[in-house]
Amino acid sequence: MIIYLVIFLAVLVLWVISVYNFFVSSRTRIKASIQEIGNQLKRQADLIPNLEESVKGYLGHEKGIFEELTNARKAISQASKSGDVGKMADAGKMLSEVLPKIQVVVESNPELKGAEVVTNLMDELRDTSDKVMYARRLLIDLTADFNVKRVTFPSSLVANLFKISEQEGLNAPEKGEHLEVSESDTKTPKVNL
């Protein structure tokens, strides 16, 4: 009889340990995935000066793009230093807005389009955007796993026992511009071909 009790207790303790270890290790992985986002953003920021250099002469009257690029780069390197996930997301977005504009410039200049340096740079930048996206996806998935385990039975018992708090993940703000629909958003976009 006693022996069954001992076995039961041993299994129970092992289970508690494994659940606790899940929470602790995935917290570390979440932290690492935030750093990964910062890393990729930094790589993106480092690529921008090269891009600026090679398309400089062709931007002509579209000097605005140049400014936007510089701003995006500043925002990105600041965000990647700060380690703040919200800032990182915003900075990444700034760049993804400028890139298509440069793409248009590149497409309309046969000389630029033919230059291998420029196409390589554009490929690299787009690839880095993908990397940022995937790094964020990992953060989202890990956070979701963590939070689901935290609230579902029976792992919730362990979470309560050790007072494990919810992970914020990407922490999209609940109020803000991105949730509002302005009038211009509701109109069908015009596409000139």
* Contacts to another protein by CB under 8 A: 29, 33, 36, 40, 123, 127, 130-131, 133-135, 137-138, 141-142
Nearer to another protein, 36 or 68 (CB): 36
Q: Which is nearer to another protein, 45 or 142 (CB)?
A: 142
Smaller CB distance to another protein: residue 130 or 168?
130
Measured from the CB atom, the residue of 130 and 166 that comes closer to another protein is: 130
Cα dihedral across residues 49, 50, 52, 56: positive or negative: positive
- Least distance from C-beta 189 to another protein, angstroms? 20
The set of residues, in sequence order, having a beta carbon less than 8 Å from that of 170 and lying 6+ positions away, is: 85, 86, 89, 136, 139, 140, 143
Closest approach of Cβ 127 to another protein, in Å?
Answer: 5
Kindly give, in sequence order, each residue whose CB lies less than 8 Å from that of residue 151, ignoring residues fewer than 6 positions away: 159
Q: How far is the CB of 33 from another protein (least distance, A)?
A: 7
Sign of CA dihedral 123, 172, 42, 72: positive
